[in-house]
Amino acid sequence: MNSEVQRVVITLPASADFVDIVRLNLYGIASKMGFSYEEIEDMKVAVSEACNNSVLYAYGQEGGMVEVSFEVNNNQLSISVKDEGASFEGTTRSGNSVTLHDKELNDVEIGGLGFYLMEALMDDVTIQNQSGRGTQVIMKKRLMKSEETV
């Protein structure tokens, strides 16, 4: 691929049924870039976690849309998952604030480990919450060129 930034954007219903479409797009783009099978599997888990956060937390039971963009820039793939739901700033049954930012590991509820998983599997993860305007998760993975040619 050339050095100019290439971008693919898909907008999907915030439903678990559509997360597979995101993973298929990721596979196609990442394999064209030359990422290994293992790297692609890691990225699929991370992007699934980001999508699931939008599906589970942003909209609750109401429908909504999630915008996923894949940006190819040289040897880096940047994946953005954006929703316009209620952000991750709801409250739990115990009244504690729920955000991906300031949770202690032992306070995380089921599904809340997603952020730690994304950070472990990707090179860089940032989360932007805007009150009343949703949440955007941006994950980046750099392609490491192997010295070996097999």
Q: Is residue 147 part of a domain?
A: no
Q: Is residue 150 part of a domain?
A: no
Q: Is residue 149 part of a domain?
A: no
Distance between CA atoms of residues 133 and 38, nearest Å: 35
- pTM for this entry: 0.77
Distance between CA atoms of residues 80 and 126, nearest Å: 10
Per-residue pLDDT at 61: 55
Per-residue pLDDT at 149: 46
Which residues constitute the domain of residue 26?
Answer: 6-142
Residue that is written with structure tokens 């050095």 in the block: 3
How does pLDDT run across 125-147, given as a tens digit for each residue?
998 887 777 889 999 999 987 65
Q: What is the CATH number of the domain that holds 10?
A: 3.30.565.10
Q: Is residue 44 part of a domain?
A: yes
Burial environment of residue 40 by CB neighbours within 10 A (0 to 12, 13 to 18, 19 or more): buried
> In the chain, how many domains are there?
1
Q: Is residue 21 part of a domain?
A: yes
